[in-house]
Amino acid sequence: LAALPHKPENISCVFYYKKNLTCTWNPEKEAHDTWYTVNRTNCYGGEHELCRIENRASCSFFYPNVTYPDNCSIEVEAENADGKVKSDRTQWNLDNIVKIEPPEIYYVKPVLGVKRMVQIMWRRPQLAPRSTGLNYTLRFMTVNSAKWLEVNFRKGVYEEQTYNLTELQAFTEYVLTLRCVAEESIFWSDWSEEKMGTTEEEAPLG
Amino acid sequence: LSFYTSLTHQTQPEHPKILMELQGAAKMTWQNYQEKGLPERKNYTLPCLISECSFPRINSSAILAYFQEIQRVTVNNHTIQEIIQQLKKLMPQGAPRLNVTVPEDHFEQKCFTSAILQQFSNCMDRIHNAKCSTVAKRNVQ
């Protein structure tokens, strides 16, 4: 009894800037040996590239064949001994699926004379599109707490990579972590390594 | 990013992003090019910009021809390949292909490559700096 492979569906792609474009699809597993051919077409120049894989529902196109910015179309063809089945053609703007590295926090320290506040400085991820502003989420809590608090903010391409976290408790140690996302993307970076910092001491009232 | 758009006289919204990526790749390629200390050759010049009307435009088809020749004489250089990919994105439809000849002599090839990489990096930096001053002027007005 002929058993064609299932039509590849739920195609999902992630673009790791200056690394690769990785696409996955369903079903992850087939009953019989199945070969997949993923056809990628660049919006610019209309160049094609094929990625072939066997018995795995994932394939990657590597830098420098994939460069930002671009708008790629992706089509997956599944083949087994009984025949071939093609997926629908899907369109992927790299702006919307770029995933970048986590930022690296340089320091968390109080600003002399400013109570209940710490300043955070970090390094903008080097592997991030040069023309893209980044949205950030800063997570923080006191060291003996178990509940994270969060603030969100945006940084333009040329803005200084610092943030002043205010309204904290005086003379208290905090742990902080930071993540970011390219402003048109749906994929956040992983969280940065955690960093500690303590607010300034405050003279007792009265 | 409108400044960059005028540089390419294209209405493609992506062109400013491409130019910024090109600037990064140009700088990295020149910085990583190991053949430092080569004698400077005045006769190798890269026609980086086309001076048209009031505004210079990046000469993507000429630069592409130079970099495709440089790719031929360099070993698997990813950033040179990215520059070629990015330049192809800027290419006007049906643009004529320029003929570029690289010196046959191996040492001269290095001098040629070094000269072109440096000039391209400087050219992209000038574009970037001109853009920053244009933005700064606009913020002052």
Task: ipTM value, please give it.
Answer: 0.86
Pair of tokens at residue A185: 């993307």
Angle at CA of residue B32, ends B43 and A161, nearest 5°: 120
Entry pTM: 0.88
A69 and B21 within 8 Å at the Cβ level: the answer is: yes
Q: Computed over its alpha carbons, how large is the radius of gyration of chain A?
A: 23
Q: Quote the DSSP letter at residue A8.
A: P
User: Is the pLDDT at B139 greater than 60, yes or no?
Assistant: no
* A147 touches B: beta carbon within 8 Å: no
- Reported as a single tens digit per residue, the pLDDT across A140-182 is 999 999 999 999 999 999 899 999 999 999 999 999 999 999 9
B16 prior amide bond cis, ω within 30: no
Do A41 and A72 form a contact (C-beta atoms < 8 A)?
yes
> Which residue of chain B has the CA closest to A43?
B89
Which residue intervals of chain A are DSSP H helices? 94-97
Q: Which residue has the higher pLDDT, B75 or B29?
A: B29
Closest-CA distance, A61 to chain B, in angstroms, reads 14
Give the model's pLDDT for residue A203. 79
- Reported as a single tens digit per residue, the pLDDT across A78-127 is 999 999 999 999 999 999 999 999 999 999 999 998 999 999 999 999 89
- Reported as a single tens digit per residue, the pLDDT across A176-205 is 999 999 999 999 999 999 999 999 998 776
B85 and A69 within 8 Å at the Cβ level: the answer is: no
**CB < 8 Å to B138, chain A:** none
Virtual CA dihedral for A26, A28, A31, A33, nearest 10 degrees?
A: 100
- Reported as a single tens digit per residue, the pLDDT across B90-119 is 987 777 778 899 999 999 999 999 999 999
**CB < 8 Å to A125, chain B:** none
Report the DSSP beta bridge partners of residue B71: none
Report the distance separating Cα A150 and Cα B8, nearest Å.
42
Longest dimension (CA), chain B: 54
For A137, half-sphere exposure in the C-beta direction (CA atoms, 13 angstrom radius) is 11
Q: Are strands A20-26 and A9-16 parallel, antiparallel or unpaired?
A: antiparallel
In a 10 Å sphere around its CB, with 0-12 CB exposed, 13-18 middle and 19+ buried, how is residue B105 labelled? exposed
Give the model's pLDDT for residue A181. 98
Q: Are strands A71-80 and A90-93 parallel, antiparallel or unpaired?
A: antiparallel
**CB < 8 Å to B78, chain A:** 63-64
pLDDT band at B133 (very low <50, low <70, confident <90, very high): low
Report the distance separating Cα B105 and Cα B63, nearest Å.
22
**CB < 8 Å to A47, chain B:** 88
Do B62 and B86 form a contact (C-beta atoms < 8 A)?
no
> Which residue of chain B has the CA closest to A42?
B89
Do A194 and A164 form a contact (C-beta atoms < 8 A)?
no
Average pLDDT rounded to a whole number, residues B127-138: 66
User: Is the pLDDT at A15 greater than 50, yes or no?
Assistant: yes
Out of A47, A63, A70, the one facing B78 most closely (by C-beta) is A63
Out of A67, A132, A158, the one facing B82 most closely (by C-beta) is A67
CA–chain centroid gap for B119, Å, is 8
Q: Quote the DSSP letter at residue B121.
A: H
Report the distance separating Cα A201 and Cα A115, nearest Å.
8
Return the minimum-mean-pLDDT range out of A38-42, A43-47, B94-98: A43-47
Q: Which of A18, A47, A61, A67 to mutate: most B Cβ within 10 Å?
A: A67
Report the distance separating Cα A179 and Cα B141, nearest Å.
36
CA–chain centroid gap for A116, Å, is 32
Report the distance separating Cα A36 and Cα A55, nearest Å.
8
Give the model's pLDDT for residue B9. 46
* B21 touches A: beta carbon within 8 Å: yes
B88 and A70 within 8 Å at the Cβ level: the answer is: no
* B95 touches A: beta carbon within 8 Å: no
Do B18 and A69 form a contact (C-beta atoms < 8 A)?
yes
User: Is the pLDDT at A41 greater than 90, yes or no?
Assistant: yes
